[in-house]
Structure 1
């Protein structure tokens, strides 16, 4: 099936993100996954691979706001 017609369920989304299926479900329930591309089957949302591949999960990446302006401590 061509990639633009293929749809991923929780198992495929979880595998792509490197998380458990339960974690993928929790992310959807919290609203931290993109909106599903197909909701025609109740309780079985499905996403196009491109939707998940193009999405940047919250909490991923460098947090520059966590670094303080204080100099690094020296030991010795």
Structure 2
């Protein structure tokens, strides 16, 4: 299979994101991973590496859950 046709399973996705395989599975189940590019094998979704180019995982970086909370509102 050519490099441009390579597909990643949970292990490769987890390594790319710096998380465990279990966490990658959990993210897929919660809908916080991009949709798989290949679902032809049941229970073994596959993604193209290019699917993750420019994609930012939900929950990393900015804490959007703190927006406009009294603790962070400094306008008083």
Scaled to the shorter chain, the TM-score interval is 0.7 to 0.9
Figure out how many residues of one structure are paired with residues of the other and give that number: 70
Pairwise CA distance, 1:59: 1.3
Structure 2: gaps (5+ residues)? none
After TM superposition, the score normalised by the length of structure 2 is 0.79
CA distance in 2: counterparts of 1:5 and 1:25, whole angstroms: 22
For 1:26-62, what per-residue CA distance to the aligned partner results, in whole angstroms no more than 9, with x for missing partners? Answer: 0000111000000000000000001023311111223
Structure of greater relative contact order (alpha carbons < 8 Å, 6+ residues apart): 1
After TM superposition, the score normalised by the length of structure 1 is 0.79
Structure 1: gaps (5+ residues)? 72-76
Q: Which runs of 4+ in 1 moved over 3 A?
A: none
CA distance in 1: counterparts of 2:11 and 2:54, whole angstroms: 18
